[in-house]
Amino acid sequence: MSSTTKSQISRMVAKIKQLHNQGIPLNLTAAKRRFPDLVESAYAVTPFLGWRKLLIAAGIDYKDIEREYLNYVVCKICGKDFSILTGHLMGTHSMTPKEYRQKYPDAELMSETLRIAHRGMRQKPINLKITLPHWEELWTLEYLLDRIEDYRERGGPINFYSIHAHDRSTTDAAIRFFGSWDAAITRLGLNPGENRKQASRISLSDKEVINSLKDRQKNGLPLNENAIYTSDLRLYNAARRRFGSYRKALKAASIDPEKVYLINRYSDEELNKVIKAAYKINQLTGEARIKALKNLDKHYWPMVCARYKSWSKFAIKIGLNPDKFSFCEQEEDLIIAIKKLPSNMTAGRLFKENRSLYGKIWYRFGPVSIVLKKYHKINHVLRKRGKKL
């Protein structure tokens, strides 16, 4: 280490001690917001330093740091803040979350507090002896590097498979932030080739190959041949060695190779079309909603099925109300229909004039005369209040 680097580090250490003594939050998301330059310089040092080791150098225990998480996320286009952006992006900027992320790769769609609530890292470590507990609540590229560095310092193997076997959240984050495990460890100054060589000495069993493929499927990670080849060469080689071909390994894991192929055949552009249509459906009610959903289903069901399994899972994934993607009539649709009825409508008359609506009301809410009274009363009160104001 050069003397310039040494004096750089001691300046950083002094700065971070000062911040800590002032009670300023030092968790990575807050630090990146408040003093991005200091964070950046901690990751610019070679050999790798990072945030965790800088704190250790300053004698600060991660357990003692102040933490700060925002309960809003700012839209990078208009600067307004929301707890979740998906609806706003579509409504105001006609942009799918995916398009937004392509334009702003580091942007988040949910506030930090929501992200902690949704996919907090409180899952139990698989192997108490070797799986590192989490010291940050949220994933950042920087936190990922600190984690891999910690594993490296402990002297264990730093290849994809050995980490993946007991700490999948870390290998998933590597693929998310760097595209591949190799790219992530290269950023730490490690040579992926050497680490792979170490790994190949332990060969994967048939069962391990099958489980890895199934895990990838469960986590929605790409399963096409090229993706496996670039992100997990060891799995790819083992799959071919054990089963004769990658395709045969997929079949052994009960994954339909045609569907893997099918997913790749649909372009992002097509998926964006479906997402845009889904946002429109989310605004519709009654017959119009069901009609639009049926139409979308006719054209895109194979793709949605291959990627998401069901319309409601798809809706949840893109931040919409799953009820809006059911082919059944919804309660709110029925209430709207009831409110549209003339105010002197009686159960007897409805039975004669619109038996289908009468039946639906009965089935959903019970005795029709009581239901009519209830919703017409609400209507009446609303109208009266509207007049007064």
What residues make contact with Zn ion under the rule CB under 5 A? 75, 77-78
CB of 177 to Zn ion, least distance (A): 24
Residue 77 vs 262, nearer CB to Zn ion? 77
Residue 1 vs 78, nearer CB to Zn ion? 78
CB of 79 to Zn ion, least distance (A): 7
Residue 78 vs 336, nearer CB to Zn ion? 78
CB of 88 to Zn ion, least distance (A): 6
CB of 90 to Zn ion, least distance (A): 11
How many CA atoms lie within 13 Å of 385's alpha carbon, on the beta-carbon side?
6
Residue 279 vs 375, nearer CB to Zn ion? 279
**Token pair belonging to 147:** 């984690």
Residue 75 vs 350, nearer CB to Zn ion? 75
CB of 95 to Zn ion, least distance (A): 9
What would the 3-class secondary structure string for 89-158 be?
Answer: HHHHHCCCHHHHHHHCCCCCCECHHHHHHHHCCCCCCCCCCCCCCCCCCCCCHHHHHHHHHHHHHCCCCC
Residue 75 vs 293, nearer CB to Zn ion? 75
CB of 77 to Zn ion, least distance (A): 4
CB of 80 to Zn ion, least distance (A): 5
Residue 95 vs 350, nearer CB to Zn ion? 95
CB of 271 to Zn ion, least distance (A): 22
Residue 82 vs 362, nearer CB to Zn ion? 82
